[in-house]
């Protein structure tokens, strides 16, 4: 693959991680949510916005750390990837979680921007894994749960829980 084509792939991955092409960027979506609704679970939903947001943060941390060091040990599934409470303890905890998500997304972007990081080079600890795989998982996972958060937000609004 030539350098120009690889750069186009890197830029598309970055676009997908930061917000995609067909939906509100995750960072903008989270910043627009009032703290008061983050712990609510409307009828018909299994998780609160806080639970999904923290799950995103925990999973994103895992994906980024593994991308930096394939010998990194992931937390146990599922308990290491979900918060133990459905509501943030404070507005500060909510804001910190959002800030960490943004930081971790930019850390993945930094890995993608660095031409020394080969998108296709197999990871030492697992030759079936590589940076391209990790970046697409970040983009897919953020989009999936970002969509759930958008639906929760609408349901909270429609049910008058705001």
**Integer-rounded Cα radius of gyration of the chain:** 17
Tally of structural domains, the chain: 1
- Of 52-56, 115-119, 154-158, where does mean pLDDT reach its minimum? 154-158
| pLDDT of res. 161 | 64
pTM over 0.85: yes
User: Tokens 């979506």 map to which residue?
Assistant: 29
22 falls in which pLDDT band (50, 70, 90)? confident
Asked whether residue 71 carries a pLDDT value surpassing 80, the answer given is yes
For residues 22 and 32, what is the distance between their CA atoms, to the nearest angstrom? 18
158 falls in which pLDDT band (50, 70, 90)? confident
Q: How far is CA 97 from CA 76, 100, 161, in A?
A: 20, 5, 22
| Domain encompassing residue 37 | 3-158
CATH number at residue 117: 1.20.120.450
Question: From the CB of residue 31, how many other CB atoms can be counted at a distance below 10 Å?
Answer: 12
162 falls in which pLDDT band (50, 70, 90)? low
């Amino acid at each position: 693959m030539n350098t120009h084509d690889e750069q186009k792939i890197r830029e598309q991955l970055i676009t997908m991680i930061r917000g995609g092409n067909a939906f509100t960027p995750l960072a903008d979506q989270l910043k627009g949510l009032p703290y008061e609704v983050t712990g609510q679970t409307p009828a018909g939903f299994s998780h609160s916005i806080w639970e999904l947001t923290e799950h995103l943060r925990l999973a994103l941390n895992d994906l980024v750390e593994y991308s930096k060091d394939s010998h990194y040990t992931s937390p146990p599934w599922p308990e290491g990837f979900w918060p133990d409470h459905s509501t943030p303890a404070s507005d500060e905890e909510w804001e910190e979680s959002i800030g960490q998500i943004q930081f971790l997304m930019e850390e993945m972007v930094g890995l993608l921007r660095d031409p020394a990081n080969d998108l296709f080079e197999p990871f030492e600890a697992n030759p079936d894994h590589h940076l391209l795989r990790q970046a697409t998982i970040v983009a897919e996972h953020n989009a999936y749960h970002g969509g759930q958060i958008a639906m929760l937000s609408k349901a909270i609004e429609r049910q008058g829980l705001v």
